[in-house]
Chain A
Amino acid sequence: MNVKLFLSSLFFLLALSQASAQDDLLKQLDSIKPKEKQAETLGFKGLQICNMQSTKVTAKGEWYVLISHRFGDLTQGFNNFFGLDDAYTKLGAIYGATDWLSIGASRQTNNKIYELTAKYRLKNQEADGFPVSIVGYNTMDINTNLSTDQYPYLEFNNRLAYTTQLLISRKFSDKITLEFAPIYIHKNLYDETTERKDQFVVGLGGRYKLTKRMSMNLEYAPRIDAPENDVYHNLLSLGLDIDTGGHIFQMVFSNCQTMNDVYVFSNATGKWNGGSLYFGFNLYRVF
């Protein structure tokens, strides 16, 4: 009896080992999982969604040269040739100092503003791991258009304005990425009747990929407890990204013509229903 049991169990084991020997070798490899959790691939192609920043941070050693244009009011038609007459330009560069930190500087036409920026990745979205990417972003504006003719008691710190932003995004699928960004704006010089010294803004943005190299972007940034007036409106922009390899080309329709973050989020002068609208583009060249 015992011998029989032993024999049959041996047969069973033999059959089992034979079966496993014939098992697909690839399947055995398939069971190997990467040790570390993989960072999810990027949710945005551009450093910007339209006007607001995306959670993309440049890699170490990368140079991005930025050329942005916003034409004048599109709604005036032939009077200003659909905005061609009063274009604003922003020129700048962004450098990846490390894999998680990039610094940038730019200058734009409007108010001759120099903008210094720092963007730093705090956490990456992971495949089957951490659900969102978190990036910090700071800007400092230096308004060099202000003069003592206009403000006799002007001091240097009156020229400065800041934003502090926390960009949180999630890539929901290959096509859809959404971003949520609490933003804090501080202005040293401001107009009490239309602006606040400290303004909170909620930035909302997203992209929808149309093809491998094109995506549609949308952003909306409601101000919290903004002063009641008709001068400034909440930012709303629609954009199209075209990735051509070394370039990212972003076409933008927005109710904001200026391109420094302080103005973008708190001083948008246009309005989608019955106000001014602006067409423009951001062009990034990667070196």
Chain B
Amino acid sequence: MKKIIVLLVFIFLGNTIFAQKMMTRTGQIKFEASVPSFDPVAAVNNSVSAILDESNGEFAVLALVKAFKFKIPLMEEHFNENYMESSVYPKATFKGKILNFDASKTSASKKYDLEGDLTIHGVTKKIKTKIDVAPKDGKLYVSGDFVVKNQDFNIKIPSLVKSKVSEDVAISFDLVLDEK
């Protein structure tokens, strides 16, 4: 009987240790949809949250749309009100999986495939991209970049400003995950 108890305790403990999650609340996401010779259409969000389940590579990222900061205040206002409609769709999220992620093997920087659902402006699209995962001082540095199209997420650019905003939006992210 005692053996069973000991075994169970081990399973229990092992489970909690194994299911360790790494997370951040101060991750950074940048995007740029600039057209040369016009005002830069670029913003940065420094309060991105992300969480990684080390046991299976499941990965989720959440950014508040209103937290994207622009150089030009009027652009930020229009971004929220006219394009992203951030009072209706306050969050941009990603939910997916780092393929073949193995926490024990990540001793040096390594490239992985990331796959999952990206939700922006209330529209969800499957994306696939490469990411860098680098462990350092007990933290995981996760970074990468990918390109999305405005029209894929139902973000309409009026014809009047079409020449000033790129249809392709380059998104890059830098997340430093720490133990929860």
What residues of chain A have their CB less than 8 Å away from a CB belonging to chain B?
3, 6-7, 10-11, 13-14, 17-18, 21, 24-26, 28-30, 32, 34, 38, 41-42, 59-60, 62, 174, 212-213, 243-246, 286
Contacts and interface: CB of A to CB of B under 8 A. Distances in A.
Q: How large is the interface on B (under 10, 10 to 19, 20 to 34, 35 or more residues)?
A: 35 or more
A10 to B, nearest CB: 5
Contacts of A7: 4-5, 8
A243 B87 CA distance: 18
Given A21-B53, A24-B60, 20 more contacts: A3-B5, A7-B8, A10-B9, A10-B12, A17-B12, A21-B15, A25-B60, A26-B62, A26-B93, A26-B95, A28-B21, A29-B23, A32-B25, A32-B62, A41-B86, A42-B77, A245-B158, A245-B161, A246-B74, A286-B74
Nearest to A213: B82
Nearest to A56: B77
Nearest to B25: A32
Nearest to B156: A212
10 contacts: A10-B12, A14-B12, A17-B15, A25-B51, A25-B59, A25-B95, A28-B51, A32-B62, A41-B81, A246-B74
A85 to B, nearest CB: 33
Contacts of B62: 26, 29-30, 32
B127 interface: no
Contact of B73 (A3, A41, A62, A174): A62
Q: What secondary structure prevails in chain B residues at the interface with A?
A: mixed
Most central of A21, A59, A213, A286 by chain B CB within 10 Å? A21
Interface of B: 1, 4-5, 8-9, 11-12, 15-16, 19, 21, 23, 25, 47, 49-51, 53, 55, 58-62, 64, 66-67, 73-74, 77-78, 80-82, 85-88, 93, 95, 158, 160-161
